[in-house]
Amino acid sequence: MTLPDPEAQTDKPLTILIGADTYPPHVNGAAQFGYRLAKGMTARGHNVHVLASRADKGKSFSEARPEATVHRLRSHSVPTHPYFRVVFPWEIKKEIALLFDRVQPDVVHIQSHYMIGEHVLYEAVKRGIRVVATNHFMPENLNPFLPFPKWFLDIVGRQSWKDMGKVMGRANVVTTPTPLAAKAMRDHAFLHKVIPLSNGIDSHAYELAPGERIERNPWPTVLFAGRLAEEKNIDVLIDAVAKLPKELNVHLEIVGDGEIRQRLDAQVARLGLGDRVRFLGLAPDAELREAYIRADVFCMPGTAELQSLVTLEAMSASTPVVLANAMALPHLVRDGENGYLFRPNDRDDLSAKLSAIVSLPEAERTAMGKVSHEMVQKHSIKSTLDTFEALYRGADTVPEHG
């Protein structure tokens, strides 16, 4: 690691401003990472501020939360998404400048190149404040919410990559969760110095505590967790479960909510799976943890995952996985050791891979889960926070993370 001047490397607490275009109560990996980053840095004694949009109508406001002081900007709904909010530059630029005057950040960490991230970066650059930029998004993530033909979406995607390069190219350091995402940013946004740095996870939080018992279901259970969105391909998973031999009696639990929930409900009813598919909605962390531990296999059929925190969480709970062979997911599978990859959108292949795991003797399935748990250790949240803290203090390179 290239470190700054040792005399400047002190334990002095930093004032950190995190610019987040999505943040809880939003439900997605980027929002969850922003929350964990704020919580982790506050626990280390830093003064953390988060700037995000309001989740509803109203004026901008600030609130003291356990993880940080959170500043909410006035925002506007969009007709194509159930919860995403947009902010208008002419409404927020002055408020951002005034917030910088109040907070006086030592370092700024933006979580995307879109609205809030972009204008927080511009304000920091203007004031000579160090900027770390992390990208959690692929332009393709937006396609389901843009009601345009594919040829036009391709134009939007190219423009989005160009904008990413223009904005994040002004940061002192650029990171993204995986080597695959870093390569995509180099190839399409022409950002040539991108550090792959895992979002990080506290794997111990998903282990059974000494003496703790969580009753398994009386039937084999497949689990999905995440936003119910087009790119997650949950319909493919439901079809695959329907194709499993009835004598296996496999059940599916779906944790999360989103814009395609009604369509999935209709699919389950049409396939006659009402007694074997349960929608658990937005589950609190404790309930989600129990779902991971209870499951026999975790499945992520999404094809636009930059890292997939929910998959890392399931692996931390010693659960075998079946993942789409797309984007960053192949990095999380040792085929046949902790689970299987399946051909994206191939219902038959997914069904066969799920069947292979739920048909195993319990001891062999447990062994697969142990490999999942071992694999996730390199994604330690402590290592991630250590690295970001070094970047905040002036480091410009770090060892690559998987």
Q: Are residues 250 and 354 in the same domain?
A: yes
Q: Which CATH number is 189's domain given?
A: 3.40.50.2000
- Domain membership of residue 23 (yes or no) is yes
Q: Which residue has the tokens 């033909």?
A: 149
Strands lying side by side in the sheet with 277-281: 277-281, 251-255, 221-225, 297-300, 321-324, 339-342
8-state DSSP, 12? P
Q: How far apart are CA 319 and CA 296, in angstroms?
A: 7
- Domain membership of residue 400 (yes or no) is no
**E strands present in 171-240:** 173-176, 194-196, 221-225
Q: Are residues 75 and 216 in the same domain?
A: no
- pLDDT of res. 247: 94
- Domain membership of residue 401 (yes or no) is no
Q: How far apart are CA 113 and CA 137, in angstroms?
A: 9
Please count the CA atoms within 13 angstroms of the CA of 141 that sit on its side-chain side: 19
Peptide linkage before 179 cis (omega within 30 of 0)? no
pTM confidence score:
0.75
What the block records as the tokens of 283 is 């589950």
Which has the closest alpha carbon to 318: 283, 292, 354?
A: 292
Q: How far apart are CA 103 and CA 12, in angstroms?
A: 16
Q: Are residues 265 and 352 in the same domain?
A: yes
**Residue 207 φ/ψ region, left for φ over 0, alpha for ψ in the -120 to 50 degree band, beta for the rest:** beta
Over range 150-158, report the average pLDDT.
67
Q: Are residues 107 and 165 in the same domain?
A: yes
Count the domains in the chain. 2
Question: Packing angle between helix 309-316 and helix 29-43, nearest 10 degrees?
Answer: 60
- pLDDT of res. 227: 87
- Domain membership of residue 80 (yes or no) is yes
pLDDT at 162 over 50: yes
- Domain membership of residue 1 (yes or no) is no
Q: Are residues 335 and 387 in the same domain?
A: no
Q: Are residues 54 and 10 in the same domain?
A: yes
- Percentage of the chain exceeding pLDDT 70: 91
Of 145 and 51, the structure prediction assigns the larger pLDDT to 51
- Domain membership of residue 93 (yes or no) is yes
Tens-digit pLDDT profile for residues 106-133? 999 999 998 999 999 999 999 999 999 9
- pLDDT of res. 157: 66
Q: Are residues 192 and 286 in the same domain?
A: no
Q: Are residues 73 and 184 in the same domain?
A: yes
Q: Are residues 10 and 51 in the same domain?
A: yes
- pLDDT of res. 402: 44
Please count the CA atoms within 13 angstroms of the CA of 145 that sit on its side-chain side: 16
The parent domain of residue 101 ranges over 6-200+380-392
- pLDDT of res. 149: 67
What the block records as the tokens of 148 is 């345009």
- Domain membership of residue 299 (yes or no) is yes
- Domain membership of residue 17 (yes or no) is yes
What the block records as the tokens of 86 is 């947009």
Q: Are residues 164 and 33 in the same domain?
A: yes
Contacts of 276 (CB under 8 A, 6+ apart): 241, 249, 250, 251, 252
Q: Are residues 232 and 316 in the same domain?
A: yes
Q: Are residues 235 and 273 in the same domain?
A: yes
Over range 18-39, report the average pLDDT.
90
Q: SS3 of 84, please?
A: coil
What the block records as the tokens of 12 is 């002095």
Over range 372-396, report the average pLDDT.
91
Q: How far apart are CA 65 and CA 49, in angstroms?
A: 10
